[in-house]
Each structure stands twice: as C-alpha cells, then as structure tokens.
C-alpha cells in the first residue's frame, strides 16, 4: 500500500469509528476489533460480532498518555511510573474509570483497562477518530488471536466495516495486565511485557492473581486461544507420533523424528520473542492441516515464556 493510500484508509476508518462503526486494526500485540469507547451501541456490536460474553470487559486504547484523564478517574503514582517507562507497549493498566466510559465496555466494573499500543497505524487511527477506542482481539471469542490482516479477513471479513492492514504483529501475544484497583498493584494476565520488567521498573515484587481467582480477571477463561484440534502439551523429549494426523509444534529448533504430518518451529534459535511473534499463526496453520492431535512443547517458564505457556495451557484446556 502506498503512503497516500494508507493515509486515506486510516481517515476512512477513523470516520467509521466516529459514526458507530467497527474496524479491525493492527497493534504490536494482535489485531484489534475497535469501536468508540464512548459509544455503547458500537461496543455492543463488538460483543455480537465476536460472540463474546458481556461479562468480559474490553481494553480501551489511547494514542497518548495525556488522554488518560478522559477515561480514568485517577492514576496512582506506580501506575504513572509504569506508563512513563513502558508505554507505548503491550501493557494494560486497570484504573478507576470515569462515568463517561459506558458500563458495557467495562462489563459493569468500576475500573477500566487502558493501554497505548506501540503501532503507528493504531495511534494514527485513534488520534484521527478523536475518541478512545475499545478493542478486543479481532477473532471469534475463544479462538486463536489474529496476528495478520488475513486472519481477520478470513473469520470476520463479512461482519465488520473495515480492516487496516499493517502486516504481521511484532509482539504476537496480548498485553500484560496490571490492576491498580487494590492497595498494591496486581498482575492479572501475563503478556508481552514480562513480569521481571515490571518489577524492575517498580523496584519491588508484585502480586500475581491466581487463575482461579474470579475477581482477578473477569472473562479470562480456562479454555481460550483454542484451535479446534486437540492440543497436548509436553516438556523435554518429543513424544512419538500417533500416526497420520499428528502435528508437532516446537519452541526452538532441534532434530525432529519422522512420522509427523505437520511440524512448526517457532524460533530456530530459541528466541522467546520470536517464538511469541510466531505462536498464533503457527497454531492456525496446524489447525488447518487436517490433524487429529498436535503435540506442543512448553516454553521455559521465564520472561516471555510465562505468557507463551499461559496461552498454551488455555489452548490445551478442554
């Protein structure tokens, strides 16, 4: 796409957002399905299009930190510090919301999840729309998140008003979510910013909500990010193929025994950021390979590996 075309596409998409439209756009994490965060009817369309339950709140996206005052009542000093050091980027802060943010966006909670995406197209789109944009991932609820415009087109193309194509997403997994609702910050979801980075910025350890804690992350379900084919996780040695229709997904490159119908290697060198970037597209390819089962290797449980394993656990859950 030429620069002029892109400018026109962004302007058109921004106009749609201002008039209650629903538009898919790239961010550094995954493709989002956006609507004006101040328009309850437009937000309702997002829930309908995705088949997303209404108890699952949407994250509100801003183009600049000074927009925070339009959606958040207050920004505690530690939240401001994280925003200063880690925005734009894959970090969502949960803060007390202003009345202007409709209940449907926050699933009736008194808080709102906000973030500044680190993507030029996302930032320009929201700025041109002139309103904060609520956006979950642009896929049917529960399925693997989209990391290319083609993923979005395939599943939601005929249901939405526009798709902006920014190429493949750089980070490839969703944002890390930190809540400031309580007295001290709590990590609600592992994501594109490793917890080690957050703790280094804050200079202290932070609490991590347990997955079974219902107040922790409304809408975060045990089964999510799920391909249709059965997913079986493993560590260490590669399991033997179960015959035709067996797929294999490896985090890093190594010798693969015979007998697998399809094999995906997320990063030959074992880079966890490369593995995260390739994860969802690889799961989709395996899901389309006519398999009966896929064996999926767990990542090392540190840095981005924690978020990768969180997604894999949910993908494998039935």
> Quick one: which of 131, 177, 279, 286 contacts ligand AMP (CB under 6 A)?
177
The alpha carbon of residue 52 and the mean position of all alpha carbons in its chain are separated, in whole angstroms, by 14
CB closer to ligand AMP, 33 vs 251: 33
Q: Which stretch binds ligand AMP (CB under 6 A): 213-221, 239-247, 272-280, 308-316?
A: 213-221
CB of 29 to ligand AMP, least distance (A): 8
Report if residue 174 touches ligand AMP, rule: CB under 6 A. yes
Shortest distance, position 94 Cβ to ligand AMP, whole Å: 4
Closest approach of ligand AMP to the CB of residue 10, in Å: 21
Summarize as ranges the residues that interact with Mg ion (CB under 5 A). Answer: 137
Q: Name the closest residue to ligand AMP (Cβ).
A: 113
Q: Which of the residues 46 through 75 are near ligand AMP (CB under 6 A)?
A: 56-57, 59
Candidate residues 89, 90, 113, 305; the one interacting with ligand AMP per rule CB under 6 A: 113
- E strand intervals along the chain: 23-25, 32-36, 59-61, 91-96, 111-115, 133-134, 162-163, 176-179, 186-189, 207-208, 230-234, 246-252, 262-267, 293-297
Q: Angle CA(175)–CA(181)–CA(185) in degrees, nearest 5?
A: 60
Lookup: tokens for 11: 């302007």
The answer to whether 111 and 95 are in contact (CB under 8 A) is yes
Among 94, 126, 131, 272, binds ligand AMP (CB under 6 A): 94
Question: What single-letter DSSP state applies at residue 72?
Answer: B
* Min dist. Cβ of residue 156 to ligand AMP (A): 15
Q: Which does 172 bind (CB under 5 to 8 A by kind): Mg ion, ligand AMP, none?
A: none
Q: Which two tokens stand for residue 149?
A: 């415009």
How far, in Å, CA of 280 to CA of 80, rounded? 31
Beta pairing partners, 35: 134
Residue from 111, 83, 113, 114 nearest 99 by CA: 111
- 114/133 Cα distance (integer angstroms): 10
Q: Is residue 156 a contact partner of residue 33, using CB atoms and an 8 Å limit?
A: yes
Residue 104 within binding range of ligand AMP, rule CB under 6 A = no
Decide if residue 220 touches ligand AMP (CB under 6 A).
Answer: yes
Instruction: Number of residues interacting with ligand AMP: please give it, by CB under 6 A.
Output: 19
Neighbours of 190 (CB within 10 A): 22
Q: Which of 211, 219, 270, 303 binds ligand AMP (CB under 6 A)?
A: 219
Name the residues that contact ligand AMP, by CB under 6 A: 56-57, 59, 94, 106, 109, 111-113, 136-137, 174, 177, 179, 188, 217-220
């Amino acid at each position: 796409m030429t620069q002029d075309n892109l400018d026109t596409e962004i302007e058109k998409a921004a106009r749609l957002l201002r008039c209650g439209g629903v538009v898919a756009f790239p961010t550094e994490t995954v493709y989002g399905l956006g609507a004006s965060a101040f328009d309850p009817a437009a937000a309702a369309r997002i829930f309908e299009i995705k088949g997303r339950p209404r108890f699952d709140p949407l994250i509100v996206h801003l183009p600049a930190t000074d927009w925070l005052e339009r959606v958040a009542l207050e920004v505690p000093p530690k939240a401001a510090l994280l925003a200063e050091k880690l925005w734009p980027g894959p970090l969502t802060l949960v803060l007390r919301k202003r009345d202007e943010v409709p209940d449907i966006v926050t699933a009736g909670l008194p808080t709102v999840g906000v973030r500044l995406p680190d993507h030029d197209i996302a930032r320009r789109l929201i700025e041109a729309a002139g309103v904060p944009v609520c956006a979950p991932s642009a896929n049917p609820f529960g399925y693997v998140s989209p990391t290319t415009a083609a993923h979005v087109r395939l599943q939601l193309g005929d249901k939405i008003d526009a798709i902006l194509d920014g190429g493949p997403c750089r980070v490839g997994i969703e944002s890390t979510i930190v809540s400031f609702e309580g007295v001290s910050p709590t990590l609600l979801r592992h994501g594109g910013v490793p917890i080690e980075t957050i703790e280094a910025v804050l200079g202290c350890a932070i609490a991590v909500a347990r997955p079974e804690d219902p107040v922790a992350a409304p809408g975060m379900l045990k089964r999510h990010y799920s391909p249709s084919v059965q997913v079986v996780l493993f560590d260490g040695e590669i399991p033997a193929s179960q015959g035709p229709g067996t797929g294999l997904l490896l985090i890093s490159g190594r010798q693969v025994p015979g007998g697998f119908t399809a094999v995906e290697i997320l990063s030959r060198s074992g880079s966890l950021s490369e593995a995260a970037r390739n994860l969802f597209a690889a799961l989709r390819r395996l899901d389309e390979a006519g398999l009966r089962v896929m064996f999926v290797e767990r990542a090392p449980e540190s840095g981005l590996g924690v978020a990768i394993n969180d997604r894999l656990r949910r993908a494998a859950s039935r």
